[in-house]
Chain A
Amino acid sequence: MTNEQLKEKILLLVPEALALENKQYAEFLIPAEKFHELALALRNSEDTAFDYLVNLTGVDLLPDLMVVYHLKSTKHGNYIVLKQKTSDRVNPEFNTVSDIWITAEWHEREVFDLFGINFSNHPDMRRILMDEQYQGYPLRKDFVDEINIIER
């Protein structure tokens, strides 16, 4: 499926989706409430078959928080990039995709650990890299650590 066809299909499934500019892959910003439904459709549909979650990560855009998904189809060999955003910095929350791609379970734990983004319906939402008693979310842009981070 070419990027153009992919764009048509996604806009058909989620009319609110926003196609973003990317030289490499088809890239979309999806409204958070439609995301889980679309992800499931993209994996299960024969002509897309995005069965391999390559990468799941968070980004702090100040003031928004964003989660980025890189999906690959092992059948067709093409990629797609999906993004979802929230402006809530205190209790950011998205739906988990770990029921669709199980590898997301740890990736989401990492995003929770480093960005403080919660994933609802996740089976095991704990910190993964940092200590369990650790305070704060290190990869946020407004994170302050006077001892370990020296500003030049």
Chain B
Amino acid sequence: MTMENQPIAYDLFDKDEYVINIGPQHPSTHGVLRLITSLKGENVQKIIPYIGYIHRGIEKMCEKDTYQQIIHLTDRLDYLSAHMNNHAVCLLVEKALEVEVPERVKYIRTIIDELCRIQSHQLFWSAFGMDLGGLTCFFYGLRDREKILDIFEQSFGSRLLHSYFCPGGLMNDIHPDFQKNTKAFIKYFRRILPEYDRLLTGNVIFKERTVGMGFLSKEDAIAYGVTGPSGRASGFASDIRKHEPYAVYDKVDFKEIIYNEGDVFHRYKARIDEMWESMKIIEQLIDNIPEGDYTAKMKPVLRLPAGDYFQSVETARGHLGVYVISDGNKTPFRMRFRSPNFSNLFVLDHITVGNKIADLVAINGSLDLVLPDIDR
């Protein structure tokens, strides 16, 4: 096929460039992401990501929905951080209506957020290991993730898209066995997590492929807006839990994981360390859940006072911002999700150029992208 007959995307490259297309249906892109890559020999010269294959127009849909209905749409953004997405909208509505939620709700929300973070990082670990050729990781990771999903299923009735938080509190109270099962899981996972390190972190082949690869400096991380573990591995202290605490994060003791190396290995390491921190947070809270109601008293129809509202939360991938412009109606006038993955994907071209095409898989994997969050 001559260049003239190619689809529009190829116009962006010179005629003598060697262009290959990766995706949108490629297992290493973790979703429908298309990367059009120009090569010189084996080295990547330029990457143009194509997104939008699963653009559902969630922001447009939100303009027609009430705030209680929007909760169910936010699950479908970053489905591995479903609870944190719900949490962002709940906090925003509660802040706008000046509702004080019961302490019990804050404790439960924090515990569940952290459980959700652990299962997300477990899936990252599984998939990242598999990307680099360690298929065993996938089985080990999913084996442990099942245990968290079982806890979720017991209390919320679903395993992936829970919609458990609602403005004012929770949809229903936690299962009577929730505390017992969570504690059993933490006990189990404290024993298992060093096994992850033995299996993958110290592996020589794994280290050869990750250490020093895909370097991102702190200045670039800030300029590109790379947040979450990916940004913190470059030294960008962006943890919203620490800097703009919500729920009961200001009452618990945990460390913000920061590395200054900014390579693939430390982006990976930051996530492993975050799992330890999340377990620490859960252990501090699980025995101290106060008694009380699981929801504040809310009106059936929520009308936010006219004005602008912005709420940030820390999802498993970074800084999620929810921006609402309300005109006093029961539906938002404009709703916007600042998705962490959108900015994190944009940096891919910058950190991959000059590396080998085989390392693209490792670098892309280390950003831990979830495509529905990018496309919205």
Residues on A with beta carbons closer than 8 Å to the beta carbon of B225? 52-54, 101, 103
Of chain A, the residue at the smallest CB distance from B374 is: A129
Residues on B with beta carbons closer than 8 Å to the beta carbon of A149? 60
Decide if A74 touches B237 in the complex (CB within 8 Å). Answer: yes
Of chain B, the residue at the smallest CB distance from A102 is: B223
Mark out the residues of chain B between 202 and 231 whose CB falls within 8 Å of any chain A CB in the assembled complex.
Answer: 222-225
Given known contacts A81-B308, A103-B223, A54 and B321 CB-to-CB distance under 8 angstroms: yes
Mark out the residues of chain A between 1 and 37 whose CB falls within 8 Å of any chain B CB in the assembled complex.
Answer: 21-25, 27
Decide if B325 touches A59 in the complex (CB within 8 Å). Answer: yes
With an 8 Å Cβ cutoff, the count of chain A residues facing the other chain is 37
A93 interfacial contact with B, CB 8 Å: no
B346 interfacial contact with A, CB 8 Å: yes
A55 to B318, CA, bound (A): 13
Of chain A, the residue at the smallest CB distance from B312 is: A54
A57, A105, A138: the one contacting B57 at CB < 8 Å is A138
The stretch of B108-116, B123-131, B165-173, B334-342 that contacts the partner chain:
B334-342
A106 interfacial contact with B, CB 8 Å: yes
A132 interfacial contact with B, CB 8 Å: yes
Decide if B222 touches A128 in the complex (CB within 8 Å). Answer: no
B222, B309, B376: the one contacting A51 at CB < 8 Å is B222
Given known contacts A27-B308, A51-B222, A52-B225, A132 and B8 CB-to-CB distance under 8 angstroms: yes
For B8, B224, B225, the residue with the greatest tally of chain A CB atoms inside 10 Å of its CB is B225
Given known contacts A23-B307, A68-B323, A129-B51, A105 and B346 CB-to-CB distance under 8 angstroms: yes
Decide if A22 touches B308 in the complex (CB within 8 Å). Answer: yes
Of chain B, the residue at the smallest CB distance from A101 is: B223
A124 to B340, CA, bound (A): 21
Of chain A, the residue at the smallest CB distance from B325 is: A59
A72 to B32, CA, bound (A): 31
Given known contacts A54-B321, A59-B334, A70 and B342 CB-to-CB distance under 8 angstroms: no
A68, A77, A110: the one contacting B243 at CB < 8 Å is A77
Given known contacts A22-B308, A24-B309, A57-B336, A139 and B60 CB-to-CB distance under 8 angstroms: yes
Whole-angstrom distance between the Cβ of B250 and the nearest chain A Cβ: 14
Given known contacts A103-B343, A106-B343, A129 and B52 CB-to-CB distance under 8 angstroms: yes
Decide if A52 touches B222 in the complex (CB within 8 Å). Answer: yes
A38 interfacial contact with B, CB 8 Å: no
Given known contacts A102-B224, A103-B223, A128 and B323 CB-to-CB distance under 8 angstroms: no
A59-B325, A81-B308 known; 4 new pairs, CB 8 Å cut-off, are A54-B338, A79-B310, A130-B55, A132-B8
> 22 A-B residue contacts at CB 8 Å?
A24-B308, A24-B310, A25-B310, A51-B222, A52-B222, A53-B225, A54-B319, A55-B321, A55-B336, A57-B323, A57-B336, A68-B323, A70-B338, A77-B243, A106-B343, A106-B346, A110-B342, A114-B59, A129-B51, A131-B52, A138-B60, A149-B60
Residues of A within 8 A of B (CB): 21-25, 27, 51-55, 57, 59-60, 68, 70, 74, 77, 79, 81, 101-103, 105-107, 110, 114, 128-132, 138-139, 149, 152
